[in-house]
Amino acid sequence: MGEDTDTRKINHSFLRDHSYVTEADIISTVEFNHTGELLATGDKGGRVVIFQREPESKNAPHSQGEYDVYSTFQSHEPEFDYLKSLEIEEKINKIKWLPQQNAAHSLLSTNDKTIKLWKITERDKRPEGYNLKDEEGKLKDLSTVTSLQVPVLKPMDLMVEVSPRRIFANGHTYHINSISVNSDCETYMSADDLRINLWHLAITDRSFNIVDIKPANMEDLTEVITASEFHPHHCNLFVYSSSKGSLRLCDMRAAALCDKHSKLFEEPEDPSNRSFFSEIISSVSDVKFSHSGRYMLTRDYLTVKVWDLNMEARPIETYQVHDYLRSKLCSLYENDCIFDKFECAWNGSDSVIMTGAYNNFFRMFDRNTKRDVTLEASRESSKPRAVLKPRRVCVGGKRRRDDISVDSLDFTKKILHTAWHPAENIIAIARSPPQIIKWT
C-alpha cells in the first residue's frame, strides 16, 4: 500500500486502481488494536499503513465504521546476510498491537529476521516564542536578546508521528512466522520454524529460548513450528502448532525450556482417508485462543477446528471450509496452492468464526446455530453500503443461477489474512485491493 493512499477516502474498502498494484503492495498481515479504533496492515514492500475509525457525526450518522488512512511508514527495508549470502526481504510477516498505556499507541512489526517496536503519537500544538531561538529554530545572537518572554503553545494541524523505539534483532536463525504479546504487557514471544524465543519489551540484546525442536541431525527433522500464541489471561501459558497438525500447550512455570508440553492436542487420523497429501493438508497454518481463553481455533488446509483446553483427544467442533477441493488436491499440489497458509479469527463474543478461501471467498460459521455462509469480497461489493450476497460452489449435478462451478474458481484470488473487530461486527480482509466490511 503506497504513500498515495494517504489522500484516498476509505469507505468500507480500500479502493485502489489495479493498474497501480505491484508485488510490494500486496497485503501480508492485518490487525485491529484492542479497541478496534485502529487497524494496521503490513505489505510485502515493508510498509505499515494504519487506518483510524471515523467518529459518528450528526451530519453523517451512518459514517461510523468507516476507516481513513491515519499514518503510513516504512517499517522494514531489504537487507543482505553476508555470512549466509541470503537476501532478507522486507515483507511484514506479522503486526501485533500492545495494550495502550497512555495517549500514545505502540505496535510490534516483524519481517523474517528483525522485530521492531514502534510508537505512534499525535501532535496538534507547537511551541512559539522561544527566547534563544528564532522562528526557524536557529539560535539567536545573545546580544540581541533584551527581554524574556514565556513560550506559548499554538494550535496546528494534526500531525501523526511514528518513531522506532526498539529493534530486536539476531534472535532467529530461521524465518519468523508469528509474534504474540503476553498478558503481563512486559514480554512477548517470537517463533520461527524450529524455535520460540521470549523477549522483554525493554531489552533488545538478548532473548530466552523457551522451545527448541531442532534435532541434532537435521535429517531427523519431521515437523516444524507453524504458529504460536500466548493465552489471553494466563501469562505463563502459550500454545504452538506444528506441520503435523498437533497443538502443544506449554506452561512456563514447569521449566525454563518448554520442550516438554503440558498438553498435546491431536486428532487421530482416519486410516481410510490416508493419502499422499494427508500430512500437507493437516498442517496447522494458524492458531488463536478465544477471548475467554477456554477454546482454541485452528485452521488447516480444508477445515477450521475448535478445541477445548480441557479435552485433548479431539476437537469439539470441525467445520469444512472448502471440502469440494479434496478432489483437486493433485492440481493444487502442482501449482503450490496446497501450501497456502490461511488465517482464522473469532468474533468478539467467540460465537462466530471466520476464515478465508479461494476466488476471494471467505467463510463464516455460527457456533450456536451451526449455520455457515460463503461471502465474496469482490470489487462490486467494495462500494459503500453494498450488500454481500451469499455464494455457493457447485460440485456437480443441478446448478442454480448464481452458483459457481468448482472448476471456475480462481486460485490466484485468495483471502489469506483476516481480522475481526474486538467488539463489533466489523471485519478486515486482505485481498487485492484490501477491504473492510461492516457485517450484521
Instruction: Choose between 242 and 159: higher pLDDT.
Output: 242
Encode pLDDT of 256-280 as tens digits: 888 889 999 999 887 877 888 999 9
Q: Check whether 12 has a pLDDT greater than 50.
A: no
Find the mean pLDDT for residues 383-398: 76
pLDDT band at 58 (very low <50, low <70, confident <90, very high): low
Instruction: Choose between 432 and 390: higher pLDDT.
Output: 390
Closest CA to 250 of 314, 309, 315: 309
pLDDT band at 4 (very low <50, low <70, confident <90, very high): very low
Beta bridge partners of 289: 296
Q: Rounded CA gap, 124 and 122, in Å?
A: 7
Q: Check whether 19 has a pLDDT greater than 60.
A: no
DSSP single-letter state for residue 380: G
> What local confidence, expressed as pLDDT, does residue 133 receive?
78
Taking 3-state DSSP, the helix, strand and coil percentages for the chain, each rounded to the nearest 5, stand at 10, 40, 50
Q: Check whether 7 has a pLDDT greater than 80.
A: no
Q: Rounded CA gap, 192 and 211, in Å?
A: 10
> What local confidence, expressed as pLDDT, does residue 2 receive?
35
> What local confidence, expressed as pLDDT, does residue 437 receive?
61
Q: Check whether 20 has a pLDDT greater than 90.
A: no
Q: Rounded CA gap, 48 and 38, in Å?
A: 12
DSSP single-letter state for residue 407: G
> What local confidence, expressed as pLDDT, does residue 394 receive?
84
Find the mean pLDDT for residues 155-165: 88
Domain boundaries along the sequence of the chain? 21-121+162-169
Average pLDDT along the chain: 87
> What local confidence, expressed as pLDDT, does residue 249 receive?
97
Share of the chain above pLDDT 70, in %: 88
Least confident interval from 40-54, 308-322, 399-413: 399-413
pLDDT band at 15 (very low <50, low <70, confident <90, very high): very low
> What local confidence, expressed as pLDDT, does residue 383 receive?
64
> What local confidence, expressed as pLDDT, does residue 388 receive?
80
Q: Check whether 385 has a pLDDT greater than 70.
A: no
Encode pLDDT of 228-250 as tens digits: 999 999 999 999 999 999 999 99
Q: Rounded CA gap, 152 and 140, in Å?
A: 18
Encode pLDDT of 96-154 as tens digits: 999 999 999 999 999 999 999 999 998 877 777 777 777 677 887 777 777 887 888 88
Q: Check whether 358 has a pLDDT greater than 60.
A: yes
> What local confidence, expressed as pLDDT, does residue 389 receive?
81
Find the mean pLDDT for residues 336-343: 96
Q: How many CA atoms lie within 13 A of 302 on its CB side?
A: 15
The reported pTM is 0.86
> What local confidence, expressed as pLDDT, does residue 13 receive?
41
Q: Nine-digit cell at 213? A: 525442536
Residue 294's SS3 state is coil
Q: Nine-digit cell at 140? A: 539567536
> What local confidence, expressed as pLDDT, does residue 169 receive?
93
> What local confidence, expressed as pLDDT, does residue 115 receive?
97
Find the mean pLDDT for residues 309-318: 96
Q: Nine-digit cell at 178? A: 508469528
Q: Check whether 339 has a pLDDT greater than 70.
A: yes
Q: Rounded CA gap, 369 and 388, in Å?
A: 20
Instruction: Choose between 15 and 96: higher pLDDT.
Output: 96
Q: Which residue has the cell 483510524?
A: 52
Find the mean pLDDT for residues 365-381: 88
Q: Rounded CA gap, 306 and 384, in Å?
A: 34
Q: Give the type of residue at 277.
A: F
Is there a cis peptide before residue 232, judged by omega within 30 degrees of 0? no
> What local confidence, expressed as pLDDT, does residue 366 receive?
97
> What local confidence, expressed as pLDDT, does residue 3 receive?
35
> What local confidence, expressed as pLDDT, does residue 17 receive?
40
Encode pLDDT of 200-230 as tens digits: 999 999 999 999 999 999 999 999 999 999 9
